[in-house]
Amino acid sequence: MRRRTGTLMDAIPILEQGGDRTGLTSPPELFERGAVPPGGGPLRVRTSRRAGEECPARGTRERPGRPHGGFGPGQGEIMKALKPIVTTLVAALLLAGVLSAQAPTAGRIIGAIKDDQGGPLPGVAVEAKSPRLVGTAATVSDANGSYRLLALPPGIYTITYSLPGFKAVVRNDIALGVEQALVVDIAMEPSPVEEEIIVIGQSPLIDVKSQARGQVLTAKTFDALPKGRSFDSLVTILPGVQSENDLLDGISVDGASGAENVFFVDGTDTSDLNGGTRKQNVVFDFAEEVQFKASGYNAEYGGSVGGVVNVITRSGGNSFHGEVVGYYSGTGLEGRRRDRLSLDLSDGTQARYYPYDQYVGTDKEHAIEAGFLLGGYIVKDRLWFFGAFTPSLFRRDRAMDMAIQEVTGVNSYRRTETALNGSFKLSAQPMKNLRAGASVVMNLFKYKGGGDPFTFPSDQTYAALSNASGDYNNLGYSYPVFSTTAYADLTLSNNALLSVRGGYFYSDQNNRIAPLPSEPYYAFRLEQPGAYAFVSNDMFPEIPDELRHPAGWQNYPRTNVMGLEKRMDGKMTLNSDFTYYFRGAGEHAVKAGAQFMRRTQDVTDKGQLPIVFLGWDQDLIAYGTNYGRGEYGYYAIRGFADAGPYGEDYRVNMNSWSLYLQDSWTVAGRLTLNLGLRAEAEYLPSYTTDPAYAGIKRPVNFGFADKLAPRLGFAYDVFGDSNLKVYGSFGIFQDVMKLNMGANGLGGLAWKSAYYTLDDWDYTQIGVDGNFPGELLWTCDFRPPLFNVIDPDMKPFTQREISLGMEKKLAEDASLSLRLVNKKVLWAIEDIGVPIEEYYYTNPGSDYIKDVFEECRAGGLLLPGTPDCPKAKRDYYAMNLALEKRFSHSWQGGLSYTLSRLTGNYSGLASSDEDGRNSPNGERFFDMWHLSYDKELNPIDGVLPTDRTHSFKAYGSYALPFGLTVGLIANAYSGTPVTEEWIVDSDGYFPFNRGNMGRTPFVFFANAYLEYGLKLGGRAGLKFNLNVDNIFNARTAQRIYSTKYRYNISPGDAALISGDWAPAPDEVLDPRFGMPYSFMAPISGRLGVRFVF
C-alpha cells in the first residue's frame, strides 16, 4: 500500500495574539502581536482555509474554508450596506409579533404574598418599575397569594405591593439579570389607614429555581474593570473559562474548543456558520449586560456543547442621556515586543531568537476610535430609542529591513483598517401587557495593505518571509456584518406568557481592491503531499542571482490569484414559545416552543492565474510512491493545465427545526425540578453542481429522532429563604453542524493538483501563455464529493454533562458558590483515513468504521494487525469555588479557584493538536490509523494540550470619594502539557503518548484600569481612563517547541504495527526542540475619554 513520505514543514503554529486595536478584533490576549512560526516553514493559521490560503500538513488534504470574525464594507459601500439594514429594522418592528430569535433576553420576578398570620393574600396589586422598563409591569396575586411579573428586561427594580386595608410594601433595588427568576416573598400587615412600608435590603441574590451555572456582567460591573473593546473580553474572569485563542481558536468553556460556543446579540445567534466562533463584535459602549452560561442550561438552548454568551445592547429611557467617547492606543503605549524563535536563516542547523524589529519589521501603529451614544424616548412610557455610532481607524507603517534575507534594501508598506460600528434599538410597550422591540448591530469593516486580518489576524507580512520587491500596499477586502432582532412578549394573564422572536444575521467578504497580478503565483515550497515544506534553489549555482531566493519565498500573497467576488453567510432564526403556570402537586411553569433556522451560503472565489509550487531538488514522493523528478526537481500546478479549475462557486440553503418542552416544577415551595427535552432536525445539502451527483440532495441528514437531548436538573432552596441553594443537572448537548464540512467534503471546493518534472531552472516561464513544460508525473483530486463514504447511521456530535453545586448568600451583596462538573464527549464526527488516500465521514469508534477497517484488512489495503480506529474521547472534570461581591458601597470583587483535568485523544471542533486549527469535523485526529496510537501501540489518551490543573482568578474595583475608580484583574494558572511530536507520514504522531515533556511555565499576569471623573454640573461629567494590560510586563513563554525531527519519518506499516522501531540514527534533529517561544505580549495601554450627559 502507499504511504506518505517526503519532507516535513519546518514551521510551528502561529501563536500571535495581539492587543485589541480598534474594537474589531478578538479580546486582547497577553501574547505578542505578530508572532510567527519559529523559522522557515508554512504558516499555520487558526481558521479553516479558503481556496487561496495556505494550510497545515494533515494527511492528503489541505482544508480551505472561510475567514471568521469579519466586519464590514468600505466607505464606498456604506450606503448600500445601510439600506438593507434600515429596511430590515423597519420590517422587524412591523413583524415583531411574528418573528423570533433563539435566546431569551428577559427575566421574571415571582413570589408569594401572605398576611401577618401566614395566610395567602389574593387580590394584591403588584407593580414593578425600572429605568430599563418601558412603562410599568403590573399583575394581581391569585387565590394562593402567588404573583408573577414576566418578561422583564434586566435591570434594577422597585416593586410596590398594595391592597386596601393593608400597609403598602415597597421593595427597592431588586437586581434582575438576563433570564433570571428571582423569588421575592413578602408579608403585609393590616392597617386601617393608608401607610407604606419600605423594606431596606433583602434583595434576592440567588436564583433558587435554576440549576444553570453562569454569571451576568452588568454595565456597572464591566465599566470599572480592565477589558478589551469587545463584549466577550471579560468572560474569562469566570471560573472554568479560559482564553485559548492559540490552541482552541477562542474561549474554552469547561474544556471545550472555541468552535463549540454560541454567541447571541440581543437574542440573535451571531456565531460563525463555518467555525462556530464569534462572528460579530459589540463594543462595550453598546452593551448593557453580558450573560454567560457554562452548564445546566435548559432545553430551549441548542447548538452549544461549550458555553452560551448573550450580550444585551443598551436601551433608551424616560429621559435623554448620552455619551461622546474616544479611545487611543498605539506602539507609543506599549513595551518592547518579544523576540521570535526561528531556525537561523543563514544556517538551518541552528536555532536562534531574532529581535522583533529584525524578524518582523519596525512598526509605528496608531488606533483611534471615537463616537457618540444617545438614548431617550419618543413617547414617554411607550416608546424608547437608543443609538450609537463609533467609527475607528487603525494605521500601521511597517518598514521591513530585508537584510534578514541577505537582500539589500527596505520594503515598506502602510496598512489601514477602518470600521463603522453602530447600534440602534427601539423598546416599546404599545399595550398594557405587551412589550416589543427591535434592534440592529452593524460592523462595516475594510482593510488595505498587508495580509487578510481574518485569516492571518496580525498581518503576517514580515521581513523574514516576504518578497523583497513585493508591493503590499494595495491588498484588501471589505467585510460587512450586521444582525437584527425583533421580539414581542405578551402577558396573557398572571400565569401565561406568549413570546415570539426573530433575527437575521449576515456577513460577507467582498470588494477586493488588489489588481490581478501580471504573472502566475510562484512559491518555493512543496505542495501537498509534501507538507508545504519550505525549499530553496541555493544548491544550483547556475541559477542567476535575480532568480535565487530563500526557502519559503513567494512572489506575492497567494490570495491575489483568487477572483473573490463574495463570501456571504446568512442565518435567519424564528422562535415562538408559550409559558403556562399551574398548580398540581406543586407549581409548574411549563414552556413549549419551536424554532426554525435557515442558513445560506453564497460563495464565488475561483483561481484566475496558475498557482505554482516549486519543489527544488526534490523527488515527488506521494504516500509511499516515488513518481520521480526532473533535473531540478518537480513543480505542482493548481487551476490550469491538467489540474483543471480551482476554487469555490456555490449557493446553498439549508433549514433546521427544533422543538422543546420544559417544566420547572416546584415541589413543597423549596425543591424545583427542571425537566426538559429538546429535539432537532437538520441537514447539510450537496454543494456540488456536477450533474453526476444531481440526485443527492441531503448527504448529511439528522431527523428529530436522531437528535434528542434530555435536560434534567434540580434546585433546592434549603431554608426556604433564598439564602442557600443546592443544585444539580444532567444533560445531553448536541452541536449544530458547522458548514465547513460542506465546502471540504460535499463538493463545494474544486481542487485538483498536477505534478510535472522541473527540467529548467527558469521557473518564470511556467504558466505563462499556457506553458506548462516537463513530463506529467501525477495528478490528484483532493476534493471529490464524499457522498458515498458518509455513514448513513452517523450520530451527531454529542456531549453528556453532569453537574452538582451550591450557592450561599453571605451578605446582601456577597455569595459563595461551589460547582462540580463532568463533561464527556459521547460521539464526535470526523473524516477518517482508511487507507490513507480514502476518507470516511463517521463517528470515530463506530461500528461503521470498524467494518471499513475489517474490509480493508481482509482486502490487503491494511496489514493484518492494524488496530481499529478508536472512539473519540474528551473527558473534563472540574471543581469551581468562587466568592463574589456585587457592586455596592463603592466596590465590587470576586475570587475563584478551579481544579480541573482534561484528558482524551480529541480536543473538539477546533484542534489543539493543530495549534487551534478550526476545521470542524475535518481535523487531523483520525486521518491515519497510527496517529491514534503511540510507538508501543497504546491508544493515545492523556492530558490534552489545554489542560490547566490549577487556575486562580481575582477581579475587583473601588470608587474613591474624589472621583477616581481603580479596577484590577489578576490571573494565575498552570501551564499546558507539552508532548513530543514526530512527523510520521504526517505531523501529529506522539511516540510516547501525551504530556511526556512536562508543562509550560506557570502563568501570572494582571491588568489594571483607572478612571477619573469630573462633574460638570447636573448629569454632565467628563471621565478620563487608562486601560493597562500586563502591568507587570510578564514575558512567560506560552509554548515549548516539541517537534523533535526536522523531516518526515516513514517506517512503514509493518514497523508501526510491530511496536518495536526507532528513527534512523542519522535523522536530522530540529535545533528548536525543547526551546520556549510565544512569549506573553509586553505591557500596553489604551487611553480613553468619555463625556457623559
User: Cα(341)–Cα(956) distance, rounded to whole angstroms?
Assistant: 36
Indicate if the pLDDT at residue 68 is higher than 50.
Answer: no
204-213, 328-337, 997-1006, range with the lowest pLDDT: 204-213
- For residues 127, 133, 134, 135, the Cα torsion angle rounded to the nearest 10 degrees is 20
Q: Output the nine-digit C-alpha cell for 358.
A: 529584525
Q: Helix or strand or coil: residue 1030?
A: coil
Q: Output the nine-digit C-alpha cell for 1024.
A: 478620563
- What is the per-residue pLDDT for 235? 86
Distance set, CA 281 to CA 384, 420, 660, 733, 1090 (Å): 24, 11, 29, 26, 20
Q: What is the mean pLDDT of residues 730-734?
A: 96
- What pLDDT, in 10s, does the model give residues 216-258? 889 999 999 999 998 888 888 999 999 998 899 999 999 999 9
Indicate if the pLDDT at residue 571 is higher than 60.
Answer: yes
Indicate if the pLDDT at residue 5 is higher than 70.
Answer: no
Q: HSE of 945 in the Cβ direction (CA atoms, 13 Å)?
A: 28
- What is the per-residue pLDDT for 69? 33
Indicate if the pLDDT at residue 72 is higher than 60.
Answer: no
Q: Is 327 exposed, middle or buried (0-12, 13-18, 19+ CB in 10 A)?
A: buried
pLDDT grade, residue 1058 (50/70/90)?
Answer: very high
**Domains along the sequence of the chain with CATH:** 322-517+556-607+646-748+783-1092 (2.40.170.20)
976 with 945: CB under 8 angstroms?
yes
- DSSP assignment of 269-298, as one string? E-B-TTT-SB----BGGGEEEEEEEEE---
Give the helix/strand (H/E) hosting 740. helix 740-745
Q: Helix or strand or coil: residue 1042?
A: coil
- What is the per-residue pLDDT for 200? 61
Indicate if the pLDDT at residue 339 is higher than 70.
Answer: yes
Which residues partner with 252 through β-bridges? Answer: 242
- What is the per-residue pLDDT for 1018? 87
- What is the per-residue pLDDT for 82? 43
pLDDT grade, residue 816 (50/70/90)?
Answer: very high
CA nearest neighbour of 208 among 889, 672, 522:
672
Q: Is 992 exposed, middle or buried (0-12, 13-18, 19+ CB in 10 A)?
A: middle
- What is the per-residue pLDDT for 527? 87
Q: What is the mean pLDDT of residues 162-176?
A: 90
CA nearest neighbour of 249 among 271, 267, 227:
271
pLDDT grade, residue 30 (50/70/90)?
Answer: very low
User: Cα(435)–Cα(499) distance, rounded to whole angstroms?
Assistant: 10
65-69, 204-208, 939-943, range with the lowest pLDDT: 65-69
pLDDT grade, residue 832 (50/70/90)?
Answer: very high
Residue with the larger pLDDT of the pair 18 and 940 = 940
Residue with the larger pLDDT of the pair 35 and 802 = 802
189 with 116: CB under 8 angstroms?
yes
Q: What is the mean pLDDT of the chain?
A: 87
Q: Output the nine-digit C-alpha cell for 928.
A: 491515519
- What is the per-residue pLDDT for 708? 97
pLDDT grade, residue 9 (50/70/90)?
Answer: very low
Indicate if the pLDDT at residue 850 is higher than 90.
Answer: yes
Q: If you ran DSSP here, which 8-state letter would residue 790 be given?
A: B
pLDDT grade, residue 455 (50/70/90)?
Answer: low
- What pLDDT, in 10s, does the model give residues 491-529? 999 899 999 999 999 999 999 888 888 999 999 998 877
- What pLDDT, in 10s, does the model give residues 623-636? 768 899 999 999 99
In terms of average pLDDT, the best of 6-15, 137-146, 892-901, 979-988 is 892-901
Backbone angles phi and psi of 963, in degrees to 5 = 100, 0
Q: What is the mean pLDDT of residues 902-916?
A: 95
Backbone angles phi and psi of 757, in degrees to 5 = -70, 140
387-396, 524-533, 545-554, range with the lowest pLDDT: 524-533
- DSSP assignment of 105-132, as one string? --EEEEEEEEETTS-B-TT-EEEEE-TT
User: Cα(34)–Cα(17) distance, rounded to whole angstroms?
Assistant: 7
751 with 792: CB under 8 angstroms?
no
Which residues partner with 1004 through β-bridges? Answer: 972
Q: If you ran DSSP here, which 8-state letter would residue 699 be given?
A: S
Distance set, CA 87 to CA 1, 313, 439 (Å): 60, 20, 12
pLDDT grade, residue 35 (50/70/90)?
Answer: very low
689-703, 718-732, 884-898, range with the lowest pLDDT: 689-703
Phi-psi sector, 631: left (phi>0), alpha (psi -120 to 50), beta: alpha
Percent of the chain with pLDDT over 90: 69
- What pLDDT, in 10s, does the model give residues 73-110? 333 443 444 444 444 444 444 443 333 335 667 889 99
User: Cα(501)–Cα(300) distance, rounded to whole angstroms?
Assistant: 13
User: Cα(343)–Cα(1072) distance, rounded to whole angstroms?
Assistant: 7
User: Cα(708)–Cα(45) distance, rounded to whole angstroms?
Assistant: 35
pLDDT grade, residue 488 (50/70/90)?
Answer: very high
- What is the per-residue pLDDT for 103? 66
Indicate if the pLDDT at residue 906 is higher than 90.
Answer: yes
Q: What is the 3-state secondary structure (H, E, C) of 968-979?
A: EEEEEECCCECC
pLDDT grade, residue 691 (50/70/90)?
Answer: confident
- For residues 982, 984, 8, 776, the Cα torsion angle rounded to the nearest 10 degrees is 180
Indicate if the pLDDT at residue 396 is higher than 90.
Answer: yes
Residue with cell 518571509: 465
List all residues 6 or more positions away from 1037 whose beta carbon is below 8 Å from its beta carbon: 1000, 1001, 1076, 1077, 1078, 1079
CA torsion through residues 263, 267, 272, 274, sign? positive
User: Cα(825)–Cα(828) distance, rounded to whole angstroms?
Assistant: 7
Indicate if the pLDDT at residue 1000 is higher than 50.
Answer: yes
pLDDT grade, residue 456 (50/70/90)?
Answer: low
Indicate if the pLDDT at residue 879 is higher than 80.
Answer: yes
Q: What is the CA angle 956-222-171, rounded to 5?
A: 90
Indicate if the pLDDT at residue 291 is higher than 70.
Answer: yes
Residue 991, Cα to own-chain centre: how many angstroms? Answer: 31
User: Cα(1011)–Cα(1032) distance, rounded to whole angstroms?
Assistant: 19
CA nearest neighbour of 617 among 635, 601, 602, 604:
635
Q: Output the nine-digit C-alpha cell for 448.
A: 488595505
- What is the per-residue pLDDT for 12? 28
Q: Helix or strand or coil: residue 648?
A: strand
User: Cα(66)–Cα(455) distance, rounded to whole angstroms?
Assistant: 8
Distance set, CA 1084 to CA 247, 350, 414, 764, 1027 (Å): 23, 32, 22, 45, 8
- What is the per-residue pLDDT for 468? 84
Q: HSE of 646 in the Cβ direction (CA atoms, 13 Å)?
A: 30
Q: What is the mean pLDDT of residues 418-436?
A: 95
Indicate if the pLDDT at residue 22 is higher than 60.
Answer: no
Indicate if the pLDDT at residue 63 is higher than 70.
Answer: no
